[in-house]
């Protein structure tokens, strides 16, 4: 849409600006302030300069958490995106079945994150959970509180369960905007299923898929509640992701300085990734319009 | 529907089984849960639900959550409507950067904000109030609402604005009487998403409350760690947290796909 | 309102002031020469002045982090100087 130039539009944006500035700038500046100081409580601070940053950047604990985080986000993207596309392609196109599918699929998205954790914590327990019990009956060696691999599989399956529907719904929205005429034309041309997917469906989904990848990457990158409830970050530190480690540091140990330095590094990484995505999306939009 | 489609059916079964398990557990007594293994409750009981609905420390959690979620939804939509209109209709100084800055807050990890939020709301005397949680959740809900509403508003042709102006409508009258009904489904979807993300969030809500505004999610985690694991009641509490979402989603089911695409398809 | 909990220091105060004055300067520049001089630069996307400032600031932050990682917390002036050069390069070519 052609937008007209009007500086008065700032007045319409002002409430949002003030509200978000209050909730974002004050906390962020506080984090910046804390990151260069040490504190023993009571609002007494001591200047330490770059000490916390050097410590945090060179800390094995955080390198490990960062590595685990990248691995986790990578794995869930590699599973959820193709799976989501595939299910969206197989969705019914019209009739009551669509509504039923959409509502049932969206259900996991609306469950409070700690309840998602609780559901899987119960479901995977050997003594009272259906999954854990079945696996034990089949003789599979599975125990998510003791065994690293089991814990990882539980956390990943939980995330797939929780969030694949988001990808499905996004792709479905993209697919349902394709006019029937396209499919009929493809049929007349005798196009294969793959050709239809490659040249009609995938281009239409490009935009929503970018949003899906962005949202899934970001949300998995800040995941806290679900793995915390299920595994508590364990066994050992096996499922301690960045946010779990950060909260442990900031609230648990009250290491305000290192936690603040950690927060800034974390935030900068997130900012970089969002900016790259945003630039790519807006650039491809501009291309589509021209 | 011509034939039963295997893939979506299998996927939905995969989604429903853990929820079914939670539901059966909420209908069992603790003795039955721990005593043996059964696929369905042998002797269904509503005792767990009764515990929650009669014990103030449980049901006040639901009330608290509902209060701050509703507050947050109202605040978010109210401020996001004019802003989304500005972004969809006008170009102004720094608009693109402002939009990106808003979105970056949606992407920011809540864990980064937990400690400063605690300090901030304690210092202005709002700690453990509903409004504190509602305001804190605005950090990610306002950008989301702006993003969704902007998508829906861009779909409304600009000629409508111009015609209304020629017909002598003032801007507020045009906005509330003509424009808002046109994007009613968009407002519904945006409100739904604000509701949803405020409802499912735990970390910030838990940190900013202690007694008076304690959300149900925090009540549940406390019960897990302290009172010797009452699985039946915990499962019942979980089931009750799913109910509001399931009701709300029914009303927006026809727009939900477009909403998840943030109004842009 | 008591602000002691925020733990302000001269250094971080200066930091915020510099960022704020940069934003004000960009606003003034934009009013004087509107349009933001968009062009397609080295990184293959259309950038305006504001985008270039953002790329400069974000890049500078990572330069500082890299300096602290490789050289420790000493002589951060070098990192600042490097960021300045980087900023000039961004405004010239991106």
Q: How far apart are CA B261 and CA A166, in angstroms?
A: 9
Domain for residue A193, yes or no? yes
Q: Can you name the residues that pair with A47 across neighbouring β-strands?
A: A37
- Read off the pLDDT of residues C51-94 as tens digits, 9 standing for 90 and up: 899 999 999 999 999 998 888 877 888 889 999 999 999 888 88
Calculate the alpha carbon distances from B16 to A101, A108, B20 in Å. 12, 9, 6
More confident position, A1 or A243: A243
Residues C17 and C47 in one domain: no
CATH code of the domain in which A221 resides: 1.10.3720.10
Total count of domains within chain A = 1
Q: Specify the pLDDT at position B224.
A: 54
- Tell which of B3, B9, B11 to mutate to test the A interface (max A CBs under 10 Å): B11
Residues of chain C in contact with residue A32, where contact means CB-CB under 8 angstroms, are: 12, 15-16
- Read off the pLDDT of residues C22-55 as tens digits, 9 standing for 90 and up: 999 998 998 888 877 788 877 777 888 888 999 9
Whether C59 and chain B come into contact, CB under 8 Å, resolves to no
- Tell which of C3, C68, C71 to mutate to test the A interface (max A CBs under 10 Å): C68
Question: Which of A37-46, A130-139, A268-277 is the most confident on average?
Answer: A268-277
Q: Can you name the residues that pair with C39 across neighbouring β-strands?
A: C47
Task: Using CA atoms of C22, C26, C28, C30 in order, give the dihedral in degrees to the nearest 10.
Answer: 180
**Residues 6 or more apart whose Cβ sits within 8 Å of residue B23:** B235, B239
Q: How far apart are CA A165 and CA A162, in angstroms?
A: 7
CB contact under 8 A, C50 and B93: no
Output b/e per residue, B54-80; b: 16+ Cβ within 10 A.
eeeebbbbbebbbbbbbbbbebbbebb
8 A C-beta contact, residue A261 and residue A184: no
pLDDT at A105 over 80: yes
Residues C63 and C86 in one domain: yes
- Read off the pLDDT of residues B97-106 as tens digits, 9 standing for 90 and up: 898 899 888 8
**Residues 6 or more apart whose Cβ sits within 8 Å of residue A27:** B112, B113, B116, B117, B120
8 A C-beta contact, residue A12 and residue B83: yes
* DSSP sequence for A96-133: HHHHHHHHHHHGGGGS-HHHHHHHHHHHT-TTT-HHHH
Residues C25 and C53 in one domain: no
Confidence category of residue B2, pLDDT binned at 50, 70, 90 = very low
Q: Specify the pLDDT at position A50.
A: 86
* DSSP sequence for C21-61: HHHHHHHHHHHHSTT---EE-TTSSEE-HHHHHHHHHHHHH
Query: CA of A185 to nearest chain C CA: how many angstroms apart?
Result: 35
Q: Specify the pLDDT at position B1.
A: 43
Confidence category of residue B131, pLDDT binned at 50, 70, 90 = very high
| Selection from B90, B153, B165 nearest residue A4 by Cα | B90
Report residue A240: phi and psi, to 5°: -85, 100
Q: Specify the pLDDT at position A290.
A: 55
Q: Specify the pLDDT at position B12.
A: 92
Residues C82 and C60 in one domain: yes
Whether A210 and chain B come into contact, CB under 8 Å, resolves to no
Query: CA of A11 to nearest chain C CA: how many angstroms apart?
Result: 16
Residues of chain C in contact with residue B97, where contact means CB-CB under 8 angstroms, are: 50-51, 54
CB contact under 8 A, B231 and A2: no
Nearest chain C residue to B116, by CA: C6
Q: How far apart are CA C84 and CA A146, in angstroms?
A: 51
Residues of chain B in contact with residue C1, where contact means CB-CB under 8 angstroms, are: 123-124
8 A C-beta contact, residue A267 and residue A246: no
Residues C76 and C51 in one domain: yes
Query: Residue ranges of the alpha helices (H) in chain A?
Result: 9-35, 51-57, 60-90, 96-106, 113-123, 130-137, 148-175, 180-188, 193-196, 202-221, 225-231, 242-247, 256-289
Confidence category of residue A288, pLDDT binned at 50, 70, 90 = low
Residue that the structure tokens 């009551």 belong to: A96
Residue B94 has its nearest CB partner, among C1, C3, C50, at C50
Q: How many CB atoms lie within 10 A of CB B173?
A: 12
Nearest chain C residue to B95, by CA: C50
Residue C69 has its nearest CB partner, among A51, A58, A268, at A58
Token pair in block for residue A8:
């008065």
Nearest chain B residue to A33, by CA: B116
- Read off the pLDDT of residues A71-102 as tens digits, 9 standing for 90 and up: 999 999 999 999 999 999 988 877 788 888 88
% of chain A with per-residue pLDDT over 90: 25
H or E segment and range at residue B235: helix B231-251
8 A C-beta contact, residue A166 and residue A175: no
Q: Specify the pLDDT at position A134.
A: 87
Range of the domain at A176: 61-289
Residues C29 and C53 in one domain: no
Helix, strand, or coil here: A46? strand
Q: Which chains touch A (3 or more CB pairs under 8 A)?
A: B, C
Token pair in block for residue C68:
């602290």
Whether C10 and chain A come into contact, CB under 8 Å, resolves to no
Query: CA of B119 to nearest chain C CA: how many angstroms apart?
Result: 7
More confident position, B101 or A128: B101
- HSE (CB half, 13 Å, CA atoms) of A52? 25
8 A C-beta contact, residue B73 and residue A184: no
- Read off the pLDDT of residues B11-64 as tens digits, 9 standing for 90 and up: 999 999 999 999 998 898 877 877 777 788 888 888 889 888 888 888 898 999
Residues of chain B in contact with residue C31, where contact means CB-CB under 8 angstroms, are: 93
Calculate the alpha carbon distances from A147 to A70, A71, A236, B99 in Å. 21, 18, 10, 45
Q: How many CB atoms lie within 10 A of CB A1?
A: 11
**Residues 6 or more apart whose Cβ sits within 8 Å of residue B198:** B68, B69, B72, B73, B134, B137, B141
% of chain B with per-residue pLDDT over 90: 29
Q: How far apart are CA B23 and CA B15, in angstroms?
A: 13
Residues C28 and C46 in one domain: no
Residue C65 has its nearest CB partner, among A37, A265, A271, at A265
Range of the domain at C46: 37-94
Residues C9 and C42 in one domain: no
Domains along chain B? 1-45 (no CATH), 54-260 (1.10.3720.10)
């Amino acid at each position: 849409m052609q937008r007209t130039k009007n500086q008065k539009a700032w007045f319409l944006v002002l409430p949002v600006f003030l509200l978000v500035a209050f909730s974002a700038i004050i906390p962020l500046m506080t984090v910046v302030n804390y990151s260069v100081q040490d504190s023993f409580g009571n609002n007494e601070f001591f200047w330490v300069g770059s000490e916390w940053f050097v410590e945090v950047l060179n800390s094995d604990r955080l390198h490990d958490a960062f590595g685990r985080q990248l691995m986790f986000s990578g794995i869930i993207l590699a599973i959820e995106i193709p799976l989501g596309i595939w299910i969206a392609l197989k969705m019914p196109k019209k009739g009551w079945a669509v509504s039923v599918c959409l509502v049932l699929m969206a259900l996991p998205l609306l469950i409070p994150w700690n309840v998602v954790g609780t559901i899987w914590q119960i479901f995977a327990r050997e003594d009272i959970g259906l999954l854990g019990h079945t696996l034990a009956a089949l003789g599979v060696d599975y125990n998510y509180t003791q065994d690293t691999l089991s814990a990882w599989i539980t956390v990943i399956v939980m995330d797939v369960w929780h969030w694949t529907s988001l990808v499905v719904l996004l792709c479905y929205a993209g697919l349902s905007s394709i006019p029937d005429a396209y499919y009929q034309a493809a049929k007349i041309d005798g196009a294969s299923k793959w050709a239809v997917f490659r040249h009609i469906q995938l281009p239409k989904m490009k935009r929503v898929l970018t949003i899906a990848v962005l949202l899934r990457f970001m949300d998995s990158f800040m995941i806290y509640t679900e793995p915390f409830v299920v595994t508590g970050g364990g066994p050992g530190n096996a499922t301690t992701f960045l946010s779990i480690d950060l909260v442990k540091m900031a609230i648990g140990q009250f290491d305000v300085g290192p936690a603040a330095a950690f927060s800034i590094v974390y935030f900068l990484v997130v900012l970089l990734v969002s900016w790259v995505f945003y630039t790519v999306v807006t650039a491809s939009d501009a291309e589509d319009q021209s | 529907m011509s034939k039963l489609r295997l893939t979506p059916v299998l996927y939905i079964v995969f989604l429903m089984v853990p929820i079914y398990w939670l539901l059966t557990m909420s209908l069992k007594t603790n003795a039955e849960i721990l005593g043996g293994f059964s696929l369905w409750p042998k002797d269904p009981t509503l005792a767990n639900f009764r515990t929650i609905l009669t014990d103030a420390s449980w049901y006040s959690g639901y009330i608290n959550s509902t209060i701050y979620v509703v507050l947050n939804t109202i605040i978010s939509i109210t401020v996001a409507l004019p802003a989304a209109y500005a972004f969809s209709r006008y170009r102004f100084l720094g608009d693109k950067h402002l939009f990106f800055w808003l979105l970056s807050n949606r992407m920011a990890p809540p864990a980064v904000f937990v400690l400063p939020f605690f300090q901030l709301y304690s210092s202005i005397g709002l700690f453990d109030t509903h409004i504190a949680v509602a305001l804190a959740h605005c950090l990610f809900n306002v950008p989301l609402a702006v993003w969704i509403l902007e998508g829906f508003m861009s779909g409304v042709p600009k000629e409508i604005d111009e015609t209304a102006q020629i017909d002598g409508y003032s801007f507020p009258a045009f906005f509330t009487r003509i424009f808002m009904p046109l994007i009613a489904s968009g407002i519904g979807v945006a409100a739904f998403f604000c509701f949803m993300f405020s409802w499912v969030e735990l970390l910030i809500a838990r940190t900013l409350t202690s007694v008076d505004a304690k959300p149900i999610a925090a009540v549940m985690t406390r019960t897990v760690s302290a009172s010797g694991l009452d699985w039946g009641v915990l499962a019942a509490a979980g089931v009750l947290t799913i109910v509001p979402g399931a009701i709300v989603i029914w009303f927006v089911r026809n727009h939900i796909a477009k909403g998840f695409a943030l109004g842009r398809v | 309102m008591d602000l002691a909990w925020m733990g302000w220091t001269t250094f971080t105060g200066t930091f915020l002031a510099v960022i704020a004055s940069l934003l004000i300067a960009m606003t003034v520049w934009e009013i004087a020469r509107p349009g933001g001089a968009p062009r397609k630069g080295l990184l293959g996307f259309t950038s305006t002045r504001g985008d270039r400032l953002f790329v400069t600031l974000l890049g500078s932050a990572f330069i500082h982090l890299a300096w602290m990682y490789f050289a420790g917390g000493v002589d951060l002036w070098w990192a600042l100087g490097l960021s300045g050069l980087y900023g000039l390069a961004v405004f010239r070519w991106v």
